[in-house]
């Protein structure tokens, strides 16, 4: 194998493929990055078996070939080389030589035959969506994935396609996050994708209108971004019937400026950290929410102006769950719907239905 | 105590005083920030006994007074408040009330009488120096402070004033760092200041020509930057006679571009990390340094163009010691002076005598 390529392009490709390499696999070959040179294209693959990332770039390939190189040291070397052309050549004894200007590295490589094959996927694209939009939908739901491993299906995000809508749903028993967007498809899909895969996908997706094509098989999802493809296995099992969890009615409707509410809760939560309970109390009256919290260090009172339809109520929350949702909401104004101080709270954007968050209150003694 | 002040100014003052609060003291009062309000000035003090930082700011003081408030929570609250006027008032039961727009915090405070007094220092200023210059001198030497505690005096930086020069010197048994600047004084000083104090002082010093006035007493140093003063105790004991360590002669003189050498060593050290030895070998010939290093993963060869006066030599170093020095050197070109592969190496700027670094080589079998 002999090829010459541009340093910064190679560094970028390594950064992408490396996102799949978690170091958690017991197979040492998976600490390596697979590199294939052929027809003036080099293909880099990183994998941890659950998720694989393949990315392609142009290069001057003088002799085809393939190797696997330890991803960490390879990435560090390429990053530190001067911004110039790099030549990579296999030499005797399982060694590749990396040369750039007056730098020469001889590195041991592993056998490319030992690298696991990617799942074969027939790319009959099922839907496509702008990359920036999908990135936002992932960020808008992934925080609500369950952290404990008692129900593995909740460590994933549901991708639900129906009625020309893509819904992403995550929930952990205390809160539920939904993002929805119109997509141009008549397919129906119900698949759960591991949260950690999607967090890596979100890092690769660009904040742009460039399209990502998505294909499902019974066991896998494939994200095709052109030069880069991400393949992840799906989580097995059935997701929770989340629609049944959403309240059909409400008794209070609050209109409030998102940032004002978020700032007030953030300050109140400074006093709520003691004992990790994060407990903040809302006294909702007339035209205000009075937020209070206290700890050994002292107490806090925040007053937020609102527009209220309904009766006064006192209700308490874990401030972290409210803040997680508010931080990813983009609209200036939001709606909060409540029924009682022991039933779920719904938070939505005032002007669109793209985001919906459900948060359970904390029961407190009167 | 009642005063009103600007949020961002208060936040800045807290950030300064907080730098002295390490949380390592066993006295819980030293986790607090001392606040005194008087004559439309508020004074904030943070201290860990070894070092104290006092900073002053304008405020609207309606009632004088003094309190000590837990620095961490006070800093977090002020940071999160809106950018507006803040009022702080003592109320009953050892409590202060912080109000800003519609936010109200009630915080327990400690008794200001329990806060240790600052050392009394008669400010007969001994020399003054631009802040940016002193900051650079500290950064240019503090990396060479000894990390182990076997010789406490080496955990400090020597401030030596003689012949109208200020010399800062640090050494750890493997390398020695010297920074020198002309100052306008006829005094003679020989004092050792704890490295951790100086790292905090460097964070407070501005990158500017604003002056810092420095006063020494037998046990303390005081840095006066106008609104802010830092007082540190000195380390007890005699510093090593560092001048005796500097070689009087050399047999090789190398002229080299600093950044080219630094980049080459940085790349070579990627292969030298194995086993933490950081060993890089220099083969100095004719017009080049050939840097090599190897580990289980492979090997590296870097070639650096130089201008050499003297004979060829092979010499080895811990790459970290070279890089620490090169990273803080500002000149484009540097001089390296060598005598043998077992005697110290000297690195200086080509065009000035402000910086001098001594590094011991590593003995290797031929």
- Is B267–A103 a contact, with Cβ atoms under 8 angstroms apart? yes
Helix axes B7-18, B71-80, angle to 10 degrees: 150
How sure is the predictor about A170, in pLDDT bands with cuts at 50, 70 and 90?
A: very high
| Mean residue pLDDT across chain B | 95
| Cα–Cα distance list, B341 to B208, B325, B338 (Å) | 41, 19, 8
Residue positions counted in chain B: 366
Q: Does A86 touch chain B (CB under 8 A)?
A: no
Backbone angles phi, psi at A269, to 5 degrees: -70, -15
Residue B301: pLDDT over 90: yes
Q: Does B233 touch chain A (CB under 8 A)?
A: no
Mean local confidence (pLDDT), B126-133 = 95
How sure is the predictor about A277, in pLDDT bands with cuts at 50, 70 and 90?
A: confident
Annotate A58-69 with DSSP letters as a single string.
Answer: E-EEEE-EEEEE
Q: Which chain B residues are within 8 Å of A108, Cβ to Cβ?
A: 296-298
Task: Dump pLDDT digits (tens) for A312-349.
Answer: 999 999 999 999 999 999 999 999 999 999 999 999 99
Q: Does B25 touch chain A (CB under 8 A)?
A: no
Closest Cβ opposite residue A76 in set B104, B105, B270: B270
Measuring CA to CA, which residue among B227, B197, B201, B44 is closest to residue B131? B201
- Give the whole-angstrom CA distance, residue A272 versus residue A175: 19
With beta carbons less than 8 A apart as the criterion, state whether A68 and A247 touch: no
| Mean pLDDT lowest among A39-43, A333-337, B307-311, B349-353 | B349-353
| Cα–Cα distance list, A148 to A145, A152, A154, A192, A273 (Å) | 9, 8, 9, 17, 21
Tell which of A93, A96, A105 to mutate to test the B interface (max B CBs under 10 Å).
Answer: A105
The two structure tokens encoding residue A325: 């949702």
How sure is the predictor about A16, in pLDDT bands with cuts at 50, 70 and 90?
A: very high
With beta carbons less than 8 A apart as the criterion, state whether B59 and B4 touch: yes
Residue B365: pLDDT over 80: no
- Is A271–B103 a contact, with Cβ atoms under 8 angstroms apart? no
- Is B82–A263 a contact, with Cβ atoms under 8 angstroms apart? yes
Chain B residue with minimum CA distance to A105: B300
- Enumerate the β-bridge partners of residue A290: A283, A303
Angle at A317 between CA A314 and CA A320, to 5 degrees: 155
Contact residues for A137 (Cβ-Cβ < 8 A; gap 6+):
A166, A168, A179, A181
How sure is the predictor about A67, in pLDDT bands with cuts at 50, 70 and 90?
A: very high
How close is the nearest chain A Cα to the Cα of B194, in Å? 34
Measuring CA to CA, which residue among B48, B49, B52, B55 is closest to residue B11? B55
Tell which of A298, A300, A302 to mutate to test the B interface (max B CBs under 10 Å).
Answer: A298
Q: What's the pLDDT score for residue A329?
A: 95
Question: DSSP 3-state helix, strand, coil percentages of chain B (rounded to 5)?
Answer: 25, 45, 35
- Give the whole-angstrom CA distance, residue B204 versus residue B13: 11
The maximal CA–CA distance of chain A, rounded, in angstroms, is 80
Residue B63: pLDDT over 90: yes
Q: What's the pLDDT score for residue B237?
A: 93
**Three-state secondary-structure class, residue A247:** coil
Helix axes A319-328, A258-270, angle to 10 degrees: 150
- Give the whole-angstrom CA distance, residue B91 versus residue A297: 15
Q: What's the pLDDT score for residue A291?
A: 97
Q: Which chain B residues are within 8 Å of A271, Cβ to Cβ?
A: 105
| Mean pLDDT lowest among A4-8, A38-42, B362-366 | B362-366
The two structure tokens encoding residue A114: 């030992």
End-to-end CA distance of chain A: 74
Mean local confidence (pLDDT), B300-324 = 96
- Is B270–A77 a contact, with Cβ atoms under 8 angstroms apart? yes
| Mean pLDDT lowest among A146-150, A314-318, B238-242 | A146-150
Domains of chain A listed by start with CATH number: 2-114 (3.10.150.10), 127-240 (3.10.150.10), 246-362 (3.10.150.10)
Q: Does A311 touch chain B (CB under 8 A)?
A: no
Q: What percent of chain A has pLDDT over 90?
A: 89
How sure is the predictor about A366, in pLDDT bands with cuts at 50, 70 and 90?
A: low
Question: Strand A313-318 and strand A279-285: pairing?
Answer: antiparallel
With beta carbons less than 8 A apart as the criterion, state whether A265 and A280 touch: yes
- Give the whole-angstrom CA distance, residue A141 versus residue A186: 24
How close is the nearest chain B Cα to the Cα of A221, in Å? 35
**Three-state secondary-structure class, residue B177:** strand
The DSSP element (H or E) to which A117 belongs, if any, is none
Contact residues for A32 (Cβ-Cβ < 8 A; gap 6+):
A68, A69, A70, A71, A109, A110, A115
Q: What percent of chain A has pLDDT over 70?
A: 99
Q: Find the Cα–Cα–Cα–Cα dihedral A198, A199, A200, A202, rounded to 10°.
A: 80
ipTM: 0.89
Compute the radius of gyration of chain B from its Cα atoms: 25
Residue B67: pLDDT over 60: yes
Structure-token match 């390594």, residue found: A14
How sure is the predictor about B366, in pLDDT bands with cuts at 50, 70 and 90?
A: low
Q: What percent of chain B has pLDDT over 70?
A: 99
- Is B105–A77 a contact, with Cβ atoms under 8 angstroms apart? no
Task: Dump pLDDT digits (tens) for A226-255.
Answer: 999 999 999 999 999 999 999 999 999 999
Please classify residue B268 by burial: count the beta carbons closer than 10 Å to its beta carbon, then call 0-12 exposed, 13-18 middle and 19+ buried.
buried
| Cα–Cα distance list, A150 to A85, A144, A147, A360 (Å) | 50, 15, 9, 20
How close is the nearest chain B Cα to the Cα of A79, in Å? 9
Residue B12: pLDDT over 60: yes
Residue A276: pLDDT over 70: no
What is the interface size between A and B, counted as CB pairs within 8 Å?
Answer: 82
How sure is the predictor about B275, in pLDDT bands with cuts at 50, 70 and 90?
A: low
Q: Which chain A residues are within 8 Å of B28, Cβ to Cβ?
A: none
Closest Cβ opposite residue A107 in set B95, B107, B298: B298
Q: Does B73 touch chain A (CB under 8 A)?
A: yes
Mean local confidence (pLDDT), A284-300 = 93
- Give the whole-angstrom CA distance, residue B276 versus residue B295: 11
Enter the pTM of the model: 0.91
- Give the whole-angstrom CA distance, residue A31 versus residue A20: 10
Mean local confidence (pLDDT), A11-32 = 92
- Give the whole-angstrom CA distance, residue B310 versus residue B223: 46
**Three-state secondary-structure class, residue B249:** coil
- Is B300–A104 a contact, with Cβ atoms under 8 angstroms apart? yes
How close is the nearest chain B Cα to the Cα of A270, in Å? 7
Measuring CA to CA, which residue among B269, B251, B237 is closest to residue B346? B251
Mean local confidence (pLDDT), B327-345 = 95
Residue B120: pLDDT over 60: yes
Q: Which chain A residues are within 8 Å of B302, Cβ to Cβ?
A: 102-104
- Enumerate the β-bridge partners of residue B169: B158, B178
Q: What's the pLDDT score for residue A275?
A: 64
| Cα–Cα distance list, A328 to A46, A142, A323, B240 (Å) | 30, 10, 9, 58
């Amino acid at each position: 194998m002999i090829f010459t390529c541009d340093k910064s392009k190679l560094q970028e490709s390594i950064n992408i493929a490396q996102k799949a390499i978690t170091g958690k696999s017991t197979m040492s070959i998976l600490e390596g990055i697979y590199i294939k040179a052929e027809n003036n294209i080099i293909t880099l693959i990183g994998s941890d078996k659950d998720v694989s990332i393949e990315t392609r770039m142009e290069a001057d390939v003088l002799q085809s070939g393939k190797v696997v190189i330890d991803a960490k040291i390879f990435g560090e070397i390429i990053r530190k080389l001067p911004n110039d052309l790099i030549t990579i050549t296999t030499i005797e004894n399982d060694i590749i030589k990396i040369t750039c200007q007056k730098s020469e590295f001889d590195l041991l490589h592993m056998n490319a035959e030992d690298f696991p094959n990617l799942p074969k996927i027939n790319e009959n694209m099922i839907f496509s969506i702008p990359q920036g939009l999908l990135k936002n939908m992932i960020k808008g739901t992934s925080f609500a994935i369950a952290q404990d491993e008692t129900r593995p299906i909740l460590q994933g995000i549901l991708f639900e396609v129906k009625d020309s809508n893509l819904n992403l749903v995550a929930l952990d028993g205390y809160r539920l996050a939904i993002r929805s967007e119109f997509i141009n498809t008549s397919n129906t899909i119900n698949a759960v994708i591991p949260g950690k895969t999607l967090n890596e996908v979100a890092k690769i997706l660009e904040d742009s209108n460039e399209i990502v094509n998505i294909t499902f098989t019974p066991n896998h999802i494939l994200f095709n971004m052109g030069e880069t493809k991400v393949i992840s296995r799906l989580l097995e099992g059935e997701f929770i019937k989340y629609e049944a969890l959403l309240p059909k009615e409400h008794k209070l409707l609050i209109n409030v400026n998102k940032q004002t509410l978020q700032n007030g809760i953030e300050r109140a939560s400074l006093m709520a950290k003691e004992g990790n309970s994060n407990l903040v109390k809302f006294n909702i009256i007339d035209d205000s929410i009075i937020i209070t919290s206290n700890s050994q260090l002292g107490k806090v009172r925040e007053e937020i102006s609102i527009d209220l339809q309904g009766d006064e109520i006192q209700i308490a929350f874990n401030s972290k769950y409210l803040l997680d949702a508010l931080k990813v909401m983009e609209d200036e104004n939001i709606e909060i719907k409540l029924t009682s101080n022991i039933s779920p709270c719904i938070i939505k954007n005032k002007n669109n239905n793209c985001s919906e968050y459900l948060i359970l209150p904390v029961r407190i003694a009167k």
